[in-house]
Amino acid sequence: MAAVVHIRKEALLIMIWAAAEMFKKECMGVIFGDTPSPSRDYFWVSDAIPFQGIKRRLNTEVVQSELSNSRWNMFWDRLGSHPKRLGTFHSHPEWGSHRPPSEMSEEDTKDMRKQKSPLEIIVCISSRRKGSYLPWEPLEDGSIRGSLAIFNFQINAFTLVGEGDGIEPTRIRIVSTAALRKLNRVQQRKNQT
E strands in the chain = 4-7, 28-34, 43-50, 54-57, 62-64, 84-93, 119-127, 137-138, 144-148, 151-161, 168-175
Instruction: Read off the pLDDT of residues 131-140 as tens digits, 9 standing for 90 and up.
Output: 678 999 999 9
Q: What's the pLDDT score for residue 146? A: 96
Residue 129 neighbours by CB distance under 10 Å = 10
Closest CA to 24 of 142, 151, 166: 151
pTM for the model:
0.85
The domains located in the chain, with CATH, are 4-192 (3.40.140.10)
Q: Does residue 17 sit in helix, strand or coil?
A: helix
Q: CB within 8 A of 76, min separation 6: which ones? A: 85
Burial call 141-169: b when 16+ CB within 10 Å, e when fewer: ebbbbbbbeebbbbbbbbbbeeeeeeeeb
What Å distances lie between residue 84 and 37, 80, 87, CA to CA?
Answer: 13, 9, 9
CB contact at 8 A, 58 and 25:
yes
Instruction: Read off the pLDDT of residues 21-76 as tens digits, 9 standing for 90 and up.
Output: 888 888 888 899 999 988 899 999 999 988 765 544 445 555 555 665 666 666 66
Q: What's the pLDDT score for residue 57? A: 47
Lowest mean pLDDT among 15-24, 72-81, 125-134, 153-162: 72-81
Averaged pLDDT score across all residues of the chain:
84
Instruction: Read off the pLDDT of residues 94-113 as tens digits, 9 standing for 90 and up.
Output: 877 777 878 888 888 888 88
